[in-house]
Amino acid sequence: MGGTTASFEAVLDSDSIAEVESSIAYLQSSQQAQAKVFERLSVDRRVLETHLDDLESARSRAQATEERLVSMRVEIEAKVDEQADEVADLNRQVEAAARRRPSTRRSLRSVSPISGAPRDPIHTIAPD
């Protein structure tokens, strides 16, 4: 209010009509400039609030995605552990079967582990 009071005092202290008109013109242009500044600030504030809302939405989506990823990781780790246990069980069964049937073990050594084709007899390791 101090600026407004000083402006009115300047108008009232004028010595001529020309000075009053000049002071009033100055006050009007000053008021218009202030109004434009406040309008721009209002628009900027609305834009800022919109951006903040967008950022909050993006943060929420990112958090939800992170939670889904954590859940998926836990599921995958559980499946890998389960399959590792199954593979270990199958390996134990194969070993037990091989111990029960020594002839099976010899015949398994004569087959290539990749293709299932008979191994080259020159490079076949002698059975234990």
Q: What share of the chain is helix, strand, coil (3-state, %, to 5)?
A: 80, 0, 20
Segments making up each domain of the chain, as ranges: 46-108
pTM of the prediction?
Answer: 0.46
125 contacts 109 by C-beta, under 8 angstroms: yes
Give the percent of the chain with pLDDT over 70: 70
pLDDT tens, 6-30? 666 766 776 788 887 888 888 889 8
pLDDT tens, 88-109? 999 999 998 888 886 655 555 6
